[in-house]
Structure 1
Amino acid sequence: MIRLGIIGAGAVAHFHAESAGRISNVQLAAVCDLQREPAERVASPWGAQVYTDYVAMFGEAGLDAVIINTPHALHLDMVLAAAEHGLHVLVEKPMATTVTDCDRMIQACRDAGVSLVIGQIQHFLPEKLAAEDVLAGGELGQVRMIRDYRTTDYRPGTRPEWFFSEAMAGGGALMNIGGHCLDRSIWFGGAPVESLNASTLKRFGVPVETDGAISLTLRNGVHVNVVVVSDATQRMDEVLIVCEHGTISCSPHSGTLVRSNGTTRTVWEPRPQDIQEGFFLQLQDFIRVLDGGTPKVSVEHARHIVEVVLASYAAAESGTPLVINESGDATNAKRILSEVP
């Protein structure tokens, strides 16, 4: 039996807890949050212990693994502590707020002989898996272009205060929501990012970016356009994949549709349980890793997303297109970037 702990009783904690309850060899043993009441709400349906100090939880709860679901800048210290206690770790995205922190997390878990998996949920959502199946089938040929558009809300009071702290969140809408867009677009595009340009906006009087646009070229020549807009007229979350012989539209709101030869067919229709199903599949993947399997999403991919977001900030600040050097110095985001001639 795998004894699992959760740190952070925020918005998605109940998805993790419910997923643990569906896997026969997993027991949700403990939940930790600085505020006891939210932790109790997540823990009580499963009879889990409640903590307000994660170090105490690591020392007392007899855990085998932990899910870290906390503000982004806290991931590093929590992963290092988990590794010291010999715990396998699933960390919510973004992996960290700097590339240096990503590398420290990877090295610490490697040295401790524990698994580190990053919760890039896009890879497990049913509508995205349907798109993956279509691409794998080959009927549409090679991916040539991707447009990813997602709305969000970064007005004051719309989310917990830490999201508006650059130090704690690592950025604003692009680090948080844009990270999802970059994750799935790089995944569907089939290669890491080679070059990019970006722009950001700070609206509503908040200190982090509320809107952003990134234009990327992947190392295989696929062009990607990512746009994140706050408080838009319509709620949107669509990735449009343009292939040689057709297109795929993928959205949790409208499902997954394929257009080819003048006709459209639906390959996935959205269901109320799709988000929960994604978290369940993600936890299943994590448990398979603990049994010696390979994670669906590599830590290198998750690290690259952080690298690209930071490069986007640098490009937006400088107003200059940037190249991400394949063999660059990963300890400093700005040092691995060079201007496009």
Structure 2
Amino acid sequence: MRIGLIGAGAVAPFHVRAAAELAGAELTAVCDIDEASARRAADLAPGARVFTDHRRMIDAHAVDAVIVNTPHALHPPMAVDAAQAGLHVLVEKPMATSVEDCDRIAAACAAAGVALAVGHIQHHLPDKVAAHELIASGELGAVRLIRDNRSTDYRPGTRSPWFFSREVAGGGALFNIGAHCLDRSLWFGGARALEVSASVANRFGSPVETDGIVRLRLENGVGVAIAIVSDPPTRADTLAVVCERGTVEADPRAGTLVRIDGATRMVREPSPDDIQIGFTAQLADFLDVVHGGTPAVPLEHARHVVELILASYRSAQAGAATAVSPIPAATR
């Protein structure tokens, strides 16, 4: 399968190397409005063509599928253009900046008969996979509570300017980093959210939120607490899942650990290759979806993540909890 990468930002090398590692996949084109960035990514895939307009890449018939790795608000038009040209689509998280645009992407791919997957990388990172498999084994019993503690840096100047545009990014730290936290918390919690309560802070003169706290009540009674803090004294990326008979923690730097009745054991040691392992697994999943397989991340799950981010903003503005709509009958 000939793959075109649209967007040559920070994670582009992981996408390129994933294609190089998988049989049956070849990255044949890279597109970015910054030609120098596109060329740097293309240099990692000898022979890949370089474009500065995704429509020209599509019209060149150089690819069979695309990875949409662009600013959030650009996901829908680019994914729809690709689908209408008969190309399979892997779109990075968040799927879009509105629920309506999530539905627009899904409808376009369905109408064109092409595969669609959403790149929620947390489902493929080895530390999270090991934790999820441990819980699925039944050793710890049912999940009761989830605590997700994540640091970031949303000081203006620390990242590309588009991250600070509500129109382009959809929001700030909650839309970018919070999408990861909501994704993995829902995945481990095993149910949709019924209610959201959130608070946000805009610091450093940022036009978008830099910090946020989100609490969820899931349909199955699991409680979730998510904290995203910008520029703290210490870095954090720890998902703690409290179960009936023990607690498991997944952290890309510390690995996956479980504690049962006063005793701790290592489930999986961290590895310097873990991020690449995750991106390669994500692309392998996409190839499987193209060939008729079931995606690791259901489209309704990706849509629900966007729904919850938007509900978090409403809750923070109102200063009260916000109910979440039931799943639409059309997407059941």
Q: What interval of TM-score do these two structures reach, taking the shorter chain for normalisation?
A: over 0.9
Using the TM superposition, give the Cα deviation of residue 23 of structure 1 relative to its aligned residue in structure 2, in angstroms.
1.1
Using the TM superposition, give the Cα deviation of residue 272 of structure 1 relative to its aligned residue in structure 2, in angstroms.
0.4
| 1:275-314: CA deviation from partner (whole Å, max 9, x where unpaired) | 0000000000000111111111011100000000000000
Please name the residue that 2:90 is paired with. Answer: 90
User: Structure 1 CA distance, aligned partners of 2:303 and 2:248?
Assistant: 27
Please name the residue that 1:146 is paired with. Answer: 146
Please name the residue that 2:37 is paired with. Answer: 38
| 1:10-49: CA deviation from partner (whole Å, max 9, x where unpaired) | 0001100000001121111100000111111111232200
Going from structure 1 to structure 2, the CA distance change for 1:328 and 1:29 (only over 3 Å counts) comes to closer
- 1:199-210 aligned at under 5 Å gives the runs 199-210=199-210
Please name the residue that 2:212 is paired with. Answer: 212
User: Structure 1 CA distance, aligned partners of 2:205 and 2:116?
Assistant: 37
- 1:87-236 aligned at under 5 Å gives the runs 87-236=87-236
Asked if the contact 1:30/1:61 (under 8 Å) is kept, the reply is no
| 1:94-135: CA deviation from partner (whole Å, max 9, x where unpaired) | 000000000111111000001110000000000000001100
Using the TM superposition, give the Cα deviation of residue 327 of structure 1 relative to its aligned residue in structure 2, in angstroms.
4.8
Using the TM superposition, give the Cα deviation of residue 329 of structure 1 relative to its aligned residue in structure 2, in angstroms.
10
User: Structure 1 CA distance, aligned partners of 2:325 and 2:35?
Assistant: 45
Asked if the contact 1:132/1:188 (under 8 Å) is kept, the reply is yes
Asked if the contact 1:5/1:28 (under 8 Å) is kept, the reply is yes
Q: Give me the TM-score of the superposition, normalised by structure 1.
A: 0.95
User: Structure 1 CA distance, aligned partners of 2:130 and 2:205?
Assistant: 40
Matched residue of 1:272: which SS?
coil
Asked if the contact 2:93/2:119 (under 8 Å) is kept, the reply is yes
User: Structure 2 CA distance, aligned partners of 1:65 and 1:152?
Assistant: 32
Q: Which amino acid aligns with 1:128?
A: K
Asked if the contact 1:126/1:278 (under 8 Å) is kept, the reply is yes
User: Structure 2 CA distance, aligned partners of 1:16 and 1:234?
Assistant: 29
Q: Which amino acid aligns with 1:26?
A: A
Asked if the contact 1:29/1:61 (under 8 Å) is kept, the reply is no
Using the TM superposition, give the Cα deviation of residue 262 of structure 1 relative to its aligned residue in structure 2, in angstroms.
1.2
Using the TM superposition, give the Cα deviation of residue 328 of structure 1 relative to its aligned residue in structure 2, in angstroms.
6.4
User: Structure 2 CA distance, aligned partners of 1:28 and 1:253?
Assistant: 30
Please name the residue that 1:293 is paired with. Answer: 293
> What are structure 2's unaligned runs of at least 5 residues?
none
User: Structure 2 CA distance, aligned partners of 1:113 and 1:282?
Assistant: 21
1:23 aligns with 2:28: no
Q: CA RMSD in A?
A: 1.1
1:51 aligns with 2:57: no
Q: Which amino acid aligns with 1:269?
A: E
Using the TM superposition, give the Cα deviation of residue 61 of structure 1 relative to its aligned residue in structure 2, in angstroms.
3.7
**Seq. identity, %:** 56
Runs of 4+ aligned structure 1 residues displaced above 6 Å come to none
User: Structure 2 CA distance, aligned partners of 1:328 and 1:275?
Assistant: 34
